[in-house]
Amino acid sequence: MNDGAGPDAVLALLIITDLLLLGSSRLRSCITITALQGVVVSLLPVLLHGAEGAVRPWILTGGSMILKGAVFPWLLLRVLRESGVRREVEPFVGHTLSVVAGVAALMFSIWVGTQLNLPGPVAPNQTLMVPAGLATLLIGLFLIVSRRTAVTQVLGYIVVENGIYTVGVTLVGGVPMLVELGVLMDVFVAVFIMSIAAYHISREFDHIDVDQLNQLRG
Amino acid sequence: MLLWALLILPPVLAGTCCVARSARRVLLLASVGGAGWAALAGATASAAYASGPLFAARGWLYLDALSAYHLAVLGLVFGASSVYAWGYFQGELADGTLSLRSARRFGALWFGSAAAMTAVLLSNNLGLMWVGIEATTLLTAFLICVHVTPLSLEAMWKYLVVCSVGVAFAFVGTLLVAASAQRLGLDASEMLLWTRLRESAALLAPGPMKLAFLFLLVGYGTKAGLAPLHSWLPDAHSQAPAPVSALFSGFMLNTALYCLMRYLPLVEGATGGTGWGGGLLVVFGILSILLAAVFIVFQQDGKRLLAYHSVEHIGIIALGLGLGGIGTFAALWHTLNHAVCKALAFFSVGRLGQMYGTHDLGRMAGAMRRSPVWGIGFFGGVLALIGVAPFAIFMSEFQILRAAAAAHAFVALTLFLLGAGIVFVGALRHAMTSAWGEEVCEPKLQPGGVADAVLVFGALALLLLLGLWMPGPLRTALEQAALIVGGRP
């Protein structure tokens, strides 16, 4: 597994899912794409460190896959059903322009990657992994600020998390297990609570357009 | 042993709250349990001072002078807020607006947030510290909407999204710290242990460490409410029930600043003590003070006014930390003064708000005549907050000014004085109206208890006492804590 084909595929899929997410307006497919991205990213610990024969990367991969591939989409689809919203109408930045912005973010990240003199990645031949993670992080942030519905903002948060996960796995091989499990649990609870909040919002306001939450100011 | 007890007691109490039979019992448990836990926290902190740093769980739990000091402040704020919560919710208990369900949720999350904040303070592992901070965000989110209203939902949503995303940046920072420590060749289980990193701070790679500190500053700065990352803060503080606002403002913000205090000596060590990290803190601090000052002048809502005061005071603490030297000592002292003062102010405005049915300062006019105890609490609290001598806040701000002069940071000094001046005039005007102004509204008076008077006058007396005379043990505690952050006493 050290030939780099696996990680390269992950890299490609990561970027493709990023761009797909920016370009699609149907919320249901956005949720599916994010779930796919989550599963792909979860594979990284096994692909990069699995050959060392430890059981640790397998546990992480398994836990993260179940969360990102099954639990999160299930929670979000439920919110979607409750609110009856199908698609993201009129985002602040149009879908075509969003894809352009995504490509710009990718190029910027690659440039940053060459400028930063980071200590050598844990796995050799993976110099593009950190920029890809960084680009995913930026694209997640972009989703949060440029979309109106609560569901897309939660998706943006998951994408940010995927980006950080990629950077983390590549940059630092051996964060203690307890920490990684703690982080995983926090992310789970965060998405769980955000879904509950989005559910309450849809019940209280009859919409999940968070741009209209603007009563508090000054 | 003590450390484990501190961590385990809150979840046990939270569980008990979930099965309590009536809303009344939940609240009773919250106040008695909260006060008891606060006493335990105080005892643990003094044990750490008496016998040196405490360790547990093979060095993963760690309590030194810095965290012991913060633990004591947390105990004070949490204990007082728990006792106050009992009185605060009495009215809602009586007319039945507080359902058993919401009361249970409040009790469980109340203790849950205490556990999370304690975990941040006790954790020696920087990764677990991050997990604790994120957990405080998640656990406190639903405390904002104990009463589900459109406004509180809006505040909660902003709080959740802004803080979760912000704190995610701090995690990137934590990873970069781990990356910069790679050349130390530490074992995975020791890689993020603060004590190990502190020992060899000079050997950390400076480039990644600088980048890490930037990420950490943005991440934890969001949670601490440093401008311009404070957007969630006024909304959350104004919509939460008063005991929760007091805990937010009195301690939760400081938990995030505490994390930055842990990283400051690391980045100073790695960059060779050039004051690079401190300089950044000074910039954010000054920005927070000035921005808050502008909003305070035009604020009509009492709780939002106090929320912007939090931004200002967190800025002052960051400024003191950044200046270093005696500034570190003063910043730590300011933490205690601000916590006491802000808890008092939120307690008072919360109860007055219940009586008047609004937090609008104009409509609360004349509160001093109607409810002397809470009126004095609010007026005295605001006076102390804006730095009237001889309250303790005046003294700690004065020392920060001295630190600025000693560091020849005259621009920072001027801007700080300017901001403090604007706040003084702006807030004093609001406080005078609400204390003595022409009455506009007829309040629904609530019977006051002995506990109310004890909370208000106890806090005012403490602030006055600390302003006039600093006890020897407190001075030693502050000096030891300041040494850890890297300032000279």
Does B22 contact A at CB distance below 8 Å?
Answer: no
pLDDT at B489: 42
Banded pLDDT at B93 (limits 50, 70, 90): confident
User: What's the Cα-to-Cα distance from B36 to each of B24, B86, B219, rounded to whole Å?
Assistant: 18, 14, 33
Within-domain flag for B374: yes
- The answer on pLDDT for B286 being more than 50 is yes
- Per-residue pLDDT tens digits for A36-48: 999 999 888 888 7
Mean pLDDT taken over chain B: 91
Averaged pLDDT, A81-96: 80
Of A172, A183, A201, the CB nearest to B179: A172
Q: Are A210 and A153 in contact (CB under 8 A)?
A: yes
Within-domain flag for B441: yes
Nearest CA in chain A to B170: A164
**Which position has the token pair 């400051």?**
B264
Residue % of chain B over a pLDDT of 90: 67
Q: Is the pTM of this model over 0.80?
A: yes
Within-domain flag for B344: yes
- The answer on pLDDT for A1 being more than 60 is no
- Per-residue pLDDT tens digits for A149-187: 888 889 999 999 999 888 888 877 666 777 788 888 888
Residue % of chain B over a pLDDT of 70: 99
Averaged pLDDT, B245-266: 94
Averaged pLDDT, B471-481: 92
Within-domain flag for B452: yes
| Strand B61-63 relative to strand B54-56, pairing | antiparallel
Of A167, A174, A189, the CB nearest to B172: A167
Domain residue limits at B355:
278-489
Averaged pLDDT, B7-13: 94
Backbone angles phi, psi at B445, to 5 degrees: -70, 145
User: What's the Cα-to-Cα distance from A42 to each of A73, A125, A169, B168, B266, rounded to whole Å?
Assistant: 15, 19, 10, 18, 32
A-B C-beta contacts closer than 8 Å:
129
Within-domain flag for B489: yes
| Domain count across chain A | 1
Kindly indicate whether the ipTM for this predicted assembly is greater than 0.85, answering yes or no: yes
- Per-residue pLDDT tens digits for B369-406: 888 899 999 999 999 999 998 899 999 999 999 999 99
| Domain count across chain B | 1
pLDDT at A4: 66
- Per-residue pLDDT tens digits for A46-67: 887 766 667 778 888 888 899 9
Within-domain flag for A217: no
Within-domain flag for A77: yes
pLDDT at B251: 94
Averaged pLDDT, B155-173: 91
Question: Which ranges of B123-241 would DSSP assign to H, the alpha helix?
Answer: 126-144, 150-180, 194-199, 206-224, 233-239
Task: Identify from B60, B125, B131 which residue to disrupt to test chain A contact, counting A C-beta atoms within 10 A and taking the largest count.
Answer: B131
Within-domain flag for B103: no
pLDDT at B181: 85
HSE at residue B90, side-chain half, CA atoms within 13 A, is 17
Within-domain flag for A218: no
- Per-residue pLDDT tens digits for B64-84: 999 999 999 999 999 999 999
Within-domain flag for B137: no
**Measured between beta carbons, which residues in chain A are less than 8 angstroms from residue B304?**
218
